[in-house]
Structure 1
Amino acid sequence: MTDKSKTNNPIVTKENTKFQGRFLHPKHWPLLFAATFLWFISLLPNKVQNVLGRGLGRLVMKIIPKRLKTAQQNLALSFPDKSAAEITALAKENFEYTGLAVIDTANAWFWPDWRIKQNMVIEGQEHIDQAKADGNGMLILGSHFLSLEISARIFGLLRPAYAIYRPNKNPLMEYLQCRGRTLSNKGLFDRRDIKGMLHILDAGEPLWYAPDHDYGPRRSVFVPFFAVEKACTITATTLFSSGNNTKTYPVSSCRLPDGRYQVKVRAPLENFPTGDEVEDAKRCNKECEQSILEQVPQYMWLHRRFKTRPKGEASLYK
C-alpha cells in the first residue's frame, strides 16, 4: 500500500501495474512485437543467448560509431596509462556486453524465479541478512553496470527492495519496465520523490541507488573519478545516507563467463556520511571505482560520464 501522507507521488508496485486494452492499438504493435521477441529470447539456453548478445553488440557498434567514440574517450580519460590498442579492445568488449545487456534485460523481465535462482551467484548475503535483522534502512550504493536490470531482480529475491526510476512517456513502455522491475521488488519511486525515499529508508527498507552518472551541475560537486580530477558528481548520497536508521552498502554486479550473474554486497561503509558533501562524493566515487575495476568492460562506458565541466573549462568530448 502507498502511504500518500509520506510520499509526493504514488509508488509503482506490481499490484498497480496492469496491462490495459489500449496497449493493443496498432500504434503499439512495434513495441509489442519487440517485447514478444525479447520474451522469446529469454526462453533460449544461456550459451545461445551469449552468442546472440555479443553479435548484437558488435552490430550496434557499427550502427552507432558515435557511441563507440564516447566509450573510447571515457576509457582513455579514466585509464591514461593504457595504450590506444588496449582502449580500443576494451571499448569493443564493452559493446559486446552492451548487446548482452539487452539479453539480460529480457531475462530480468521474463524469467521465472526458479530460473533466476539457477543462474545467480551471491557474495555478501550476510550483510543483507544482518541489515534485515537489525531493522536498518539499506541504501544500496550501486553503479551503472550493464547487468543492472537483472542484478536488481536478483537482489529482490534476497530481500525485496525499492528503486528509483524515470517514468516513460510511452504508456506501454512504462507498463513493461514497471512490471519487469517489480517482479521481485517492492516498488519504484519517481526520481523526484525524495520525501518518499527518505521515509522508506527510515522505515528500515532497502533503496537501490546509483549516483555514478553525470546528472548535471545542479546539486553536484566536482571530485575525482578515476583519472579525471573534476568529475561532476551528485551530492544526494549525503542526504539519503544521513538518516539515523540508514546504512550504506556498496553493491556490484557482473555477468559471469558461464552466463550466470554475480551480485556482490560489501559491508556497510564506516563513518559515512561525514556531512561534508565533497568528501562524501569522493568516497562514493572511490567505492564505485572499486566495483568497476572488478569488471571494467561491463560498466556503462557509453554514457558521457564527464560531459559537465566547471565553468570556463572545455568539453572533454570532441
Structure 2
Amino acid sequence: MNSAAARFQPGLLSPLHWPAWIGIGVLWLLSRLPYRVLMAAGRCLGGLIAWLPGSRRRIAQRNIALCFPGLDTVQQARLLEQNLRDVGLMLAEFALAWMGSSRAIARVPVTIEGIEHVAAATARGQGVLLTGAHFSHLELAGRLLVERGGIELAGMYREHGDAAFEWAIRRSRQKYAATMFTKNEVRACVRYMKAGGCIWYAPDQDMRGKDTVFVPFFGVPASTLTATHHLARLSGACVIPFFHRRLPDGGYALRLEAPLAGFPGADVTTDTARINAMIERMVREAPSQYLWIHRRFKSRPAGQESLYR
C-alpha cells in the first residue's frame, strides 16, 4: 500500500480546501444515519436534483436517447427522471461506503453470489481482474464485497482534483481495500495480480487517451479503454464480471460471474468489444442506476460531429 499518499500535509488546511472539508463533513454526518434513514434522505435529495435543470440533465437525456432508441419519449423521460433521482441515492451511498463504520456496513441488506469464482482463482495462484461499471452504488458494492463477502480487494481509481478530498477519500478507502492504485500505476497493478491479487476495475468511461478503440456500446461507437485486455495479458489474471444493483425494497444484489473464457484473445479490439457487451448486460439489469450523467460518447471517430449539443 502506498501509505505516503494518505499522509496528511498541513497545507490541506488552507482556505483553498475549506469547501472540500465542508463536503467531507456533510458526507461524514450522512454516514452516521441508519441505513433506512440514509436512503430516505438520498431519495429526498434525488427529488431535488431531478427537478433542477442543468447540463448533467441534458447529458443523461442524450445518453438515454442514444442507448434506448426503442423507448418512446414518455418512457425515455421516465427513465431520465428515475436516473436523476438516483443521483441523490448515489451521494448517500458514497457517504456510507467511504465514511460508514463496519457496524453500519454489517446492517446493510445484501446478497452475494459467485464468490467461489474468486476463491478458485486464488487457490490456483491466479490473479483476478474484477471488472464492473460505474453505477451509482459502485463504491458501496465494493466495500460490501470486502466486508460481507470476505474478498481481499484492491482498487483502481482516478485521483480527485482537490488534494484535501483526495486525502480524505483515499484514507477512507484504505481502511477496507487491500491497496489503491491510480490509473498511472499500471506496472504496480500487474505485479499485484501476478502475485495472486484481486483488483476491482471499471473501464466504461471516456478517458480520451491513446490506449482506446472505438467499439459499440448500445450500438453507438464509444471510445473505450483497452486496459482490460492489456492488464489480463500482462498479469495472467482472469477477468471476472462484477454485477451489482440496488433492490427496489432496499439492499443490494451482488453477483460475480464465471471468468470470461478465452480472455484475453489475440485481438485487442475484439476483447474490448466483449467488455462493452458485458457492461451493456449489467446496465440492462438496472438501467436507472447507471451513471448516465457522464459524457460516455464525448470522443468521436474522425470526421464525426459531437453527440452533445
The bucket for the TM-score relative to the shorter chain is over 0.9
Q: Does 1:137 align with 2:135?
A: no
2:158 aligned partner: 166
Q: Does 1:124 align with 2:99?
A: no
What is the CA deviation profile of residues 148-178 of structure 1, one whole-angstrom value per residue up to 9, with x for unaligned ones? 1111212222222221122234332111110
1:51 aligned partner: 40
Q: Secondary structure of 2:233's partner?
A: coil
Same amino acid, percent of matched pairs: 35
Q: Does 1:227 align with 2:216?
A: no
Q: What is the letter of the counterpart of residue 191 of structure 2?
A: H
What is the CA deviation profile of residues 195-220 of structure 1, one whole-angstrom value per residue up to 9, with x for unaligned ones? 11111111110111111111225221
Separation in 1, partners of 2:70, 2:5: 50
Q: Does 1:273 align with 2:254?
A: no
Tell me, yes or no, if the aligned pair for 1:307 and 1:315 is still in contact at 8 Å. Answer: yes
What is the CA deviation profile of residues 94-146 of structure 1, one whole-angstrom value per residue up to 9, with x for unaligned ones? 11111111100110112222321331321211112222222210001110111
Tell me, yes or no, if the aligned pair for 2:190 and 2:235 is still in contact at 8 Å. Answer: no
Q: Could you tell me which of 150, 175, 179 is aligned with 1:183? A: 175
Tell me, yes or no, if the aligned pair for 2:34 and 2:104 is still in contact at 8 Å. Answer: no
Tell me, yes or no, if the aligned pair for 2:111 and 2:252 is still in contact at 8 Å. Answer: yes
1:301 aligned partner: 292
Separation in 1, partners of 2:16, 2:231: 40
Relative to the length of structure 1, the TM-score reads 0.90
Q: Does 1:286 align with 2:277?
A: yes
Q: Does 1:115 align with 2:107?
A: no
Q: Secondary structure of 1:232's partner?
A: strand
What is the CA deviation profile of residues 235-263 of structure 1, one whole-angstrom value per residue up to 9, with x for unaligned ones? 12111111463100000222223332332
Aligned pairs for 1:1-318 (under 5 A) are 11-13=1-3, 17-20=6-9, 22-119=11-108, 120-157=110-147, 158-216=150-208, 218-228=210-220, 230-243=221-234, 245-318=236-309
Separation in 2, partners of 1:167, 1:66: 23
Separation in 2, partners of 1:22, 1:244: 38
Q: Secondary structure of 1:242's partner?
A: helix
**How many residues matched?**
306
Pairwise CA distance, 1:28: 3.7
Tell me, yes or no, if the aligned pair for 2:223 and 2:300 is still in contact at 8 Å. Answer: yes
Between 301-310 and 213-222, the greater mean CA deviation after superposition: 213-222
Q: Secondary structure of 1:172's partner?
A: helix
Between 28-37 and 301-310, the greater mean CA deviation after superposition: 28-37
Pairwise CA distance, 1:269: 0.5
Tell me, yes or no, if the aligned pair for 1:274 and 1:280 is still in contact at 8 Å. Answer: yes
Between 305-314 and 51-60, the greater mean CA deviation after superposition: 51-60
Between 91-100 and 107-116, the greater mean CA deviation after superposition: 107-116
**Shift in CA distance, 68/24, structure 1 to aligned 2, threshold 3 Å:** same
- Show structure 1 runs of 5+ residues with no match: 1-10
Separation in 2, partners of 1:208, 1:221: 21
Separation in 1, partners of 2:283, 2:259: 18
Pairwise CA distance, 1:26: 4.6
Relative to the length of structure 2, the TM-score reads 0.92
Q: What is the letter of the counterpart of residue 268 of structure 1?
A: P
What is the CA deviation profile of residues 284-315 of structure 1, one whole-angstrom value per residue up to 9, with x for unaligned ones? 01110111111010000001111111110111
